[in-house]
Structure 1
Amino acid sequence: MTIDEVTSVKAAALDEINTAGSADEVETLRIKYMGRNGLIPKMMQGQKDVPASEKPAMGAALNSLRENVSTAISSKKTSLATSKKDSGAFDFSLPGNWHRRGVMHPISTVIEEAVRIFGQMGFTVADGPDIETEFNNFDALNTAKHHPSRDAGDTFWFEDGRLLRTQTSPVQIRVMQSQKPPVRIINPGRCYRRDTTDATHAANFHQIEGLYVDYTPVSLADLKSTLAHFAHEMMGADVKVRFRPHYFPFTEPSVEVDFSCHVCKGSGCRVCKQSGWIEIADAGMVDPRVYKKIGYDEELYGYAFGMGVERIAMIRYGISDLRFLYTNDMRFLNQFA
């Protein structure tokens, strides 16, 4: 065995490896050259018959042969595997990877259902911007200059005097400024307040507000029947509704509307703060001073109401904590699929 023979074997082995077209061919060549009974191990064993003066050079040549062939085999395997993976990515004959159809979020479902229910009673949908003026959000709604809701601790203000609306009532002001009575609208939308987040409160939430204004007499009894009908349509006949006297600057008389607690069924729990009820809506007859501020006739009749969408969703779906609606946890959201 001579060094020329070793060089010739190396050249032939590398050529065969480079021209191999599949992993099976490469494996065959590995066994042929590097296997236990392969050509290179036999050549390494034959080194003992080489003259002593040639052994150093022969050893170096054989080591080079073994390393080059081993490296070439590894590189070829990697190359073939990468090529197969890339070609498979563009195999258009493979079946499609279908995803399950999405479903509406509980908040969107409640808004859509509320629009349907009030639509049956003659209400149409109105919309407005999230960034509002102080006049539309406070002044036109008869909110006193010293009212705590105007404080920076309760409202998100901008440097130019505008603010993130704290309620969707400014939409009602915009509608009344743009059209004459009769007005019968609902205005669902997002609101912003500096509330501390807990099981029933959040700094970012949704409201649905309604407004009915006409020259035809309308009373608090009409308002109560409207909201009671909505509650039973939305939540079912089992839900109880409670009206409590209250004060709001934009309505007189005013009431707060409570629905029976969905968690404890009225017996008292941490969600309803042991009262058995959850506050859902504020309502009342529109204060004549609101009409005056926007240029309406103060002798008009009308009522207004506003309710929290998240709280309605909690009662309807039995959700114990409002924060679940905003965690984007698929384990929770998949329950509504």
Structure 2
Amino acid sequence: MDLAAEIYDRFSADLAEAVTGEELAAVQARHTGRRSRVKEEFRELAKLPEHERKERAVMLNGLELRMRVEVEEKTGRVRAAETARQIEHEWLDLSLPGQVPRRGAWHPLTEVERHCLDVLRRLGFERADGPEVEDAYHNFDALNIPQHHPARDLQDTFWLDAGLLMRSHTTTIQARVLGGRPRTPVKIVAAGRVYRNEAVDATHMAMFHQLEGFWLERGLALGHLKEVLVFVVRALYGDRVRMRFKPKYYPYTEPSLGLDIACTACGGDGCEACHRVGWVTIIGAGMIHPAVLREFGFDGDGMRGIAFGWGTTRMAAQWLGISKVRSLYSADHRQLAYLHRGVS
């Protein structure tokens, strides 16, 4: 038996017995490593005649390469088999629901507010925020509600020290934004808590939530306001909702209007769900009063504004089908979870 056959036969026998990655690495080290028979033969080349040395070197190089290739090929097959066994042993059905702990959900009022904000963002409105503790100027005076105005009785609020008060509506944010003399056009939506000094009953709270938007630009007219309101109502209540406009009064808009929708239970005919009235006012709106525009220096060059707002507390109660808004402010997580199913 020649040298190459002798070395390869020993290698083949060891390779056949190796079944793991570690055993294959040991075979490669034993037959192609520094102390292998091949390396010893390479070191002996210097003792051979030149013509025999070249022939032996070519043979040893080819043999070493062949052994390395065979070890690598079998290593690949062994690793693939090990991976397949691991996958079979550790396989999980990823379509099954996970067992992670519940992380909670948005409060029903927050869900309603976020939905309303998403609708108005489609029209280019950007959100702005303001303080809940306000001064009389931004809450009343700047909005055409001077001292002794009857509207101050309707919006009686909680007064604090130093002439401060808890804001009675989110229109204060309109006053603050306009007071900053922004570049026009301006399209703002604001939402948050407001406070009224009212007796708490089934349908009234001393603290509740409102959302308000306004748009200031040259050439705006009542038609723009009505188109915005129709879009918003259909986006919130569906394309089949019946609606109607009616005249209203607000000190900071002129002319003013209200938007009613027909009761979804009776279609406007009157039932127990709507207390036999058939129609429910959901939005108050109007053209921003010239006195308000004049207060902030926007009364020239055809500048006009539209404003609208609604109570998200009342809207959440309508969507949930509850008559007592007090339950929306309950600290009972079980009750909130039950209500959340109706608005999500």
TM-score range, shorter chain: 0.5 to 0.7
> Cα deviation per residue 1:144-198 (whole Å; 9 max; x = unaligned)?
3222343498211113111111001111111111113211010111100012333
Q: Distance in 2 between matches of 1:273 and 1:195?
A: 22
Q: 2:151 touches 2:251 (CA, 8 Å); kept in 1?
A: no
Q: TM-score, normalised by structure 1?
A: 0.66
Task: State the 1:276 CA deviation.
Answer: 1.6
Q: Distance in 2 between matches of 1:281 and 1:228?
A: 11
Q: 1:239 touches 1:259 (CA, 8 Å); kept in 2?
A: yes
Q: 1:262 touches 1:318 (CA, 8 Å); kept in 2?
A: no
Q: What is the letter of the counterpart of residue 242 of structure 1?
A: R
Q: Distance in 1 between matches of 2:261 and 2:331?
A: 27
Corresponding residue number in structure 1 for 2:110: 108
Q: Distance in 2 between matches of 1:306 and 1:274?
A: 25
Q: Which moved more, 1:303-312 or 1:233-242?
A: 233-242
Task: State the 1:104 CA deviation.
Answer: 1.0
Compared CA separation, residues 319 and 237, structure 1 to 2 (3 A) = farther
Corresponding residue number in structure 1 for 2:141: 139
Compared CA separation, residues 287 and 221, structure 1 to 2 (3 A) = same
Task: State the 1:274 CA deviation.
Answer: 2.5
Secondary structure of 1:160 counterpart: helix
Q: 1:164 touches 1:191 (CA, 8 Å); kept in 2?
A: yes
Corresponding residue number in structure 2 for 1:207: 210
Q: Distance in 2 between matches of 1:326 and 1:221?
A: 37
After superposition, where does 1:266-277 map in structure 2 within 5 Å? 266-269=268-271, 272-277=274-279
Q: What is the letter of the counterpart of residue 220 of structure 1?
A: L
After superposition, where does 1:309-324 map in structure 2 within 5 Å? 309-324=312-327
Secondary structure of 1:132 counterpart: strand
> Cα deviation per residue 1:214-266 (whole Å; 9 max; x = unaligned)?
12x12212111111111111122233222110111111110122233355553
Q: 1:262 touches 1:315 (CA, 8 Å); kept in 2?
A: no
Secondary structure of 2:162 counterpart: coil
Q: Distance in 2 between matches of 1:331 and 1:223?
A: 40
Where has structure 1 moved over 6 Å in runs of 4 or more? none
Alignment partner of 2:185 out of 177, 182, 185? 182
Q: Which moved more, 1:100-109 or 1:118-127?
A: 100-109
Q: 1:263 touches 1:320 (CA, 8 Å); kept in 2?
A: no
Q: Distance in 1 between matches of 2:224 and 2:155?
A: 36
Q: Which moved more, 1:309-318 or 1:127-136?
A: 309-318
Corresponding residue number in structure 1 for 2:95: none
Secondary structure of 1:256 counterpart: strand
Q: Distance in 1 between matches of 2:193 and 2:251?
A: 21
Q: What is the letter of the counterpart of residue 312 of structure 2?
A: V
Q: Which moved more, 1:277-286 or 1:255-264?
A: 255-264
Q: 2:155 touches 2:168 (CA, 8 Å); kept in 1?
A: no
Corresponding residue number in structure 2 for 1:296: 298
Q: 2:330 touches 2:336 (CA, 8 Å); kept in 1?
A: no
Compared CA separation, residues 266 and 196, structure 1 to 2 (3 A) = farther
Compared CA separation, residues 318 and 237, structure 1 to 2 (3 A) = farther
Task: State the 1:317 CA deviation.
Answer: 2.6
Q: Distance in 2 between matches of 1:198 and 1:272?
A: 17
Q: Which moved more, 1:112-121 or 1:319-328?
A: 319-328
After superposition, where does 1:211-290 map in structure 2 within 5 Å? 211-215=214-218, 217-262=219-264, 264-269=266-271, 272-290=274-292
Q: Distance in 2 between matches of 1:138 and 1:325?
A: 28
Q: Which moved more, 1:255-264 or 1:277-286?
A: 255-264
Compared CA separation, residues 270 and 201, structure 1 to 2 (3 A) = farther
Q: TM-score, normalised by structure 2?
A: 0.65
Compared CA separation, residues 138 and 300, structure 1 to 2 (3 A) = same
1:197 to 2:196 alignment: no
Q: Distance in 1 between matches of 2:288 and 2:306?
A: 5
Q: Distance in 2 between matches of 1:275 and 1:293?
A: 39
Runs of 5+ unmatched residues, structure 2: 1-98
Q: Distance in 2 between matches of 1:313 and 1:152?
A: 23
Q: Distance in 2 between matches of 1:129 and 1:311?
A: 22
Compared CA separation, residues 291 and 152, structure 1 to 2 (3 A) = closer
Q: Count residues in correspondence.
A: 240
Q: What is the letter of the counterpart of residue 156 of structure 1?
A: F
Q: What is the letter of the counterpart of residue 290 of structure 2?
A: P
Q: What is the letter of the counterpart of residue 214 of structure 1?
A: E
Q: Which moved more, 1:304-313 or 1:189-198?
A: 189-198
Q: Distance in 1 between matches of 2:116 and 2:149?
A: 31
Runs of 5+ unmatched residues, structure 1: 1-96
Q: Distance in 2 between matches of 1:280 and 1:145?
A: 28
